[in-house]
Chains A and B, each alone.
Chain A
Amino acid sequence: MTEVQLLQTIGMSVIGVGGAILLFVKARFVRVMAFVAMVLGAFSLVALSVPQMASMPPAVEKIDVASIKEKKELAAIGQKIFFSKGQCALCHTIGSSEGRCPDLKGVGSKLTREFIYESLTQPQAYVYMDYEHEGRAKFFPAKMPHINKKPIGLNNNEILAVIAFLQSMSGEEVTINLSELATPSSASSEGRKAL
């Protein structure tokens, strides 16, 4: 029995017992408390009937630089970060106009890697109303957070991996060289200069 099934059983039992009390017990206080229990049981059942999503802390995925042999592996790591720790997909879409922020379809071919890096780390440095958007300029309600600062806090390697993913999914050649990734020993001295 799963946790949800167990809780559903408890909820239904509470409603059943409450109903029985209302039917057979005359003491008013007990009846009122049974009524309260039934309401709470019903509330729990409704809450159990909606999609059950827990919010897990982001997995601590350390990029093992030594194990990356090809650029497409870097792009695959970037894709993982895009949809998990980076939380990019909470606002951005890829190929749909329903997002809170610009659609990123083809962004890797429209923008240079330097510009993407700047957009991630200094989002207010240069703001398009909507890049290459046809028709009237579009406003977006959400502002881009500094992706290299808390609470998201991607490190330089992770940012480079995301850029590799954006280039790769746009059909572009990935311009991030594997040698640019900071190894543990060089981590402190790497950074922007990698660009």
Chain B
Amino acid sequence: MPDNVTWLGTPAFPEAARTALGNNQLRTNLRKATGTIRDKRLAVTGELADWEQLRDAGAALKLRTLRHLDSHLVRLEEAVTKAGGTVHWAADAAEANRIVTELVRATGQTEVVKVKSMATAEIGLNEALAESGISAYETDLAELIVQLGDDRPSHILVPAIHRNRAEIREIFRGAMGEWGRAAPDDLTDEPRDLAEAARLHLREKFLRAKVAVSGANFAAADTGTVGVVESEGNGRMCLTLPETLITVMGIEKVLPSFADLEVFLQLLPRSSTGERMNPYTSMWTGTTEGDGPSDFHLVLLDNGRTATLGDEVGRQALGCIRCSACLNVCPVYERTGGHAYGSVYPGPIGAVLTPQLVGVADKQAASLPFASTLCGACYDACPVKINIPEVLVHLRARAVDEKRGPVPSPETLVMKAAAMTLSSPRRLGWAQRFGAIGGRLVSRGGRIGRLPGPLKRWSDTRDTPVPARESFRAWWQRTRGEGRS
């Protein structure tokens, strides 16, 4: 399966994380940003006394959707078609890219404006369009920073979270001129000035755009209503001004009914940007005469989602509403940043989604379920109660099973030996006695440091205290024991 979810050539998580941890600027930027958003989220979720009931309802609605996904999609297709839209189905990234490219070609245009969309990032749409000579302009501020900086996104909601204001100013000054209107010479690093520079840079593009490409936060199966939740107004520009609108949506984003939005419009803004409501939400149903695009296409994307759905434990990851609260509370994400995950979906949700979308046979993706301390902060923060630790452990087992070949790995042998030792009190007693002697031989100052040979990889990253001269069991037997127990 062509894999666009992960970035080719990214090393497995442990190696990528090691590099990221050496970057002090990155860690400072992340600490500041995630700290800010954590406080805001807690303040606005704390305002609602029934927050837990809302989470329960959100989780149940997602379960209801997923257990009958086929019927909801067919209903959605019917409603969108009836309202004047055209529905397309794409089994994988290549097919989705082909559909979008040909739809753009049919308009005769060579440029499109884009609303930030995880689905189009996942399928590598911009690159596919570029190959056909079509320029795709990202219009979300953070996506613009990433695009101008020839960078990769590192966060679901704020793809440029790894950049601070001074770095953003340098990117704008260096690259805006190549893409269109240049940044003013006296651009400061005040967020207000940076936002103004983006406004001026993109204005021309919005006013002449004939084709827009968007994602979707949801689509209601009963009415065919599609929605985009945003802040800046770039979404409204793209959804309103062009003649043709192409929306790429993961199949799991469908909701049974428009009324279900009463739950998600409360959960999503408070969990993502920590606001009671995000500045702008646009909803449209097919096309409307004289208002907005006259041609609307909805591309329903599978690309690994049905494979995820087939895993009874893992399927809950498809309930994700892309709020990114789990990233902001994750101690691992806060230290390594998003790039280390090597995927458009970083952080805890990425660690459960990416390996399922691309399969655990992919070595890099298979390393992601291990990128967690299993502390559970993500589960507590998730507005739709995805039990991320449960799925992580489940995927760890799948990753280990996948690796199981005819020749057992050293890890397997060690685990087998441990199981044998721990299952017999006599063997455990022997192991403890030898461990105490052996440990003292290789220790320094009460700690066992780096060891040679097969133990090197384990001992390189952690010190182990020297085992006590006498184990608890041996002490008990010596002082209180009455013969063999």
Q: Do A and B bind each other?
A: no
Give me the interface of B with A, judged by CB distance under 8 Å: none
